[in-house]
Chain A
Amino acid sequence: MSAKLRFDYQIIMDFIEPQSRVLDLGCGDGELLKLLIDQKKCKGIGIEIDEHSIYQCIEKGLTVSHADINEELAHYADQKFDYVILNESLQQVMSPEKTIEEALRVGKSVITGVPNFCFWKARLQIFFRGRVPKTQCLPYEWYNTPNVRFFSLKDFRLFCRKKNIKIINHAAFATDHRVRFFENLFSTAGIYLLQK
């Protein structure tokens, strides 16, 4: 485990009640899932499409499925988990709307971490340089980015309102500090605790 906890992990950990049942969609190398199991005594499983990441998860002793998020979600019964986590994966699915709805079906709560495509530095790059933005949070070139959906924190809030999804709690942040004013301008990402 890294000496310093990733800031987004800290926030997600704070959102989750101990001993919950957790499904981590796009769990990557499994670090967050391991933290939740070790420190929050959660019962957690992960879904990950990348083969190399699956090996890292198995090395950590996690229970994981090597599968596609959307195909996988369909198999679970309603409200099977206390929390479904979609951290840094929503922008990489083809139909975020469907994924969120499905996640809210199988989870009592959904925690989603989304990058903010309208961070001020990104805005400046578009405006002054006329280039598609590249930031710490969005480090890819347009031709190799895994992201297929681009939205801001404001877009996400409006989406939730439109879909009658309740935002129970949220935290906007930039790198390693919380952002409390002009979130859509000064944050690189946000984490939302959602319920239907």
Chain B
Amino acid sequence: MIMDENTCGVVETQSLTCFNPPHELTLKSGQTLGPLTVAYETYGTLNTDKSNAILICHALTGDAHAAGFHEGDKKPGWWDTMVGPGKAIDTEKYFVICSNVLGGCKGTTGPASTNPKTGKPYGLSFPVITIKDMVQVQKTLIDYLGIPKLLNVIGGSMGGLQAMKWAVLYPEMVHSSVIIATSYRHSAQQIALHEVGRQAIMSDPDWADGDYYGKTVPKRGLAVARMIGHITYMSEKSMDEKFGRRLIDKEKVGYDFSADFEVQNYLKYRGDSFVERFDANSYLYLTKAVDYFDLPQDSGSLEKALEGVRSKFLVISFTSDWLYPSHQLRSFVTALKVNDHEVTNVVIKTDYGHDAFLIKNDRQELVVSHFLKRMQKEMNHER
């Protein structure tokens, strides 16, 4: 295990069981679901007045393991560059929580979990969930941890949607929000890209209408879905720099349909390693939840949707992110300003595309760390 001094060390995923019948969770669709298991990790210590808690919301294929190392693991959590002692989300100052989302496959109840009523995996009998449902489950966890108000809710991509929803749904519980590389609603292009991924899964014969547990999993379909995803997470330039037109251990192209280019190998590797760690049905449910996200929908306009918000915002986007272009977040920032909400925004110049928020990024670290410091000072002042 390689550990620098800024790591959270060895961490463990914990779990909470909630929404036990008859107190089931009422989903946005109207259906009910329970009991639910929520997998979560925490780093740092909750202070005595419980004013230093930060909730991290993960992206589409993330999990509760944001930082530190699981026993025996060589790789740290998915946001270890941002979370740890002395890092931007400083675990010496803040109590940091990250939970796996509802519908996920990393410990929180999702389509791969056993339905207690049937004793079998839910599969497609799992109800369709939304970002709001995910946030409601997170809120139950925060209540359970005894935190009356979060210092900050932070997330990128699908995590950013959750952070937005938190500020709208529980305004009295969110002092500040950091919204990264996301949008206030999915555009036709974004829905289309997700749809190709879903179609890849559903057209794999092994998918079997979602009833593949204990049988052959739809590896090919899920791998293709991941490949498409990966292309959208990178920029033209970052792909070009990483692979160019380099060939795989050969001098000339083969004039056949075996892999010629390095980028083909890379996508295959990404696809194949993904199927080992992710459930195909979860991919369907989570992409659908993201596509359904539409902040202005219930209020008529984005401005109206943000009226009751009390949080202060830091909004970050990236110049080369074509999956979530920065103009989408600019509209969000504008709507906050129209409502007189405090918002700082920055468009970070980078070639790393949508992935930029997950890759070590000094400027993202700088703005997040300064923003959090100021928010903590203000929140202490308010009390």
Chain A residues engaging chain B, CB cutoff 8 angstroms: 45, 51, 54-55, 58-59, 61-67, 75-77
Contacts and interface: CB of A to CB of B under 8 A. Distances in A.
B378 to A, nearest CB: 10
B370 interface: yes
A41 to B, nearest CB: 15
Contacts of B323: none
Contacts of B374: 61
Interface string B361-383: 00100110011011000000000
Contact of B346 (A45, A58, A75): A58
B344 A63 contact: yes
B337 interface: yes
A38 to B, nearest CB: 14
A59 B363 CA distance: 11
B345 A75 contact: no
Contact of A58 (B330, B347, B371): B371
B24 interface: no
A25 B334 CA distance: 16
B172 to A, nearest CB: 22
Interface residues of B, number: 20
Contact of A75 (B337, B344, B363, B371): B337
A61 B370 CA distance: 7
Contact of B345 (A59, A62, A66, A76): A66
Contact of B343 (A54, A59, A65, A77): A65
Nearest to A64: B344
Interface in B78-120: none
A51 B347 contact: yes
A63 B176 CA distance: 13
A76 B370 contact: no
Nearest to A51: B349
B344 A58 contact: yes
Contacts of B349: 51
Given A63-B342, A77-B338, 7 more contacts: A51-B348, A51-B349, A55-B363, A58-B367, A62-B344, A65-B337, A76-B337
Interface in B318-363: 330, 333-334, 337-338, 342-349, 363
Nearest to B373: A61
A132 B103 CA distance: 66
A65 B367 contact: no
B337 A54 contact: no
14 contacts: A51-B346, A51-B347, A55-B363, A58-B367, A58-B371, A61-B373, A61-B374, A63-B343, A65-B337, A65-B344, A67-B330, A75-B334, A75-B337, A76-B337
Most chain B CB inside 10 Å of its own CB: which residue of A58, A75, A76, A77? A58
Contact of A66 (B334, B337, B346, B371): B346
B283 to A, nearest CB: 34
Contacts of B330: 67
Contacts of B347: 51, 66
B151 to A, nearest CB: 16
A75 B302 CA distance: 14
Given A67-B330, A75-B334, A54 B346 contact: yes
B333 A65 contact: yes
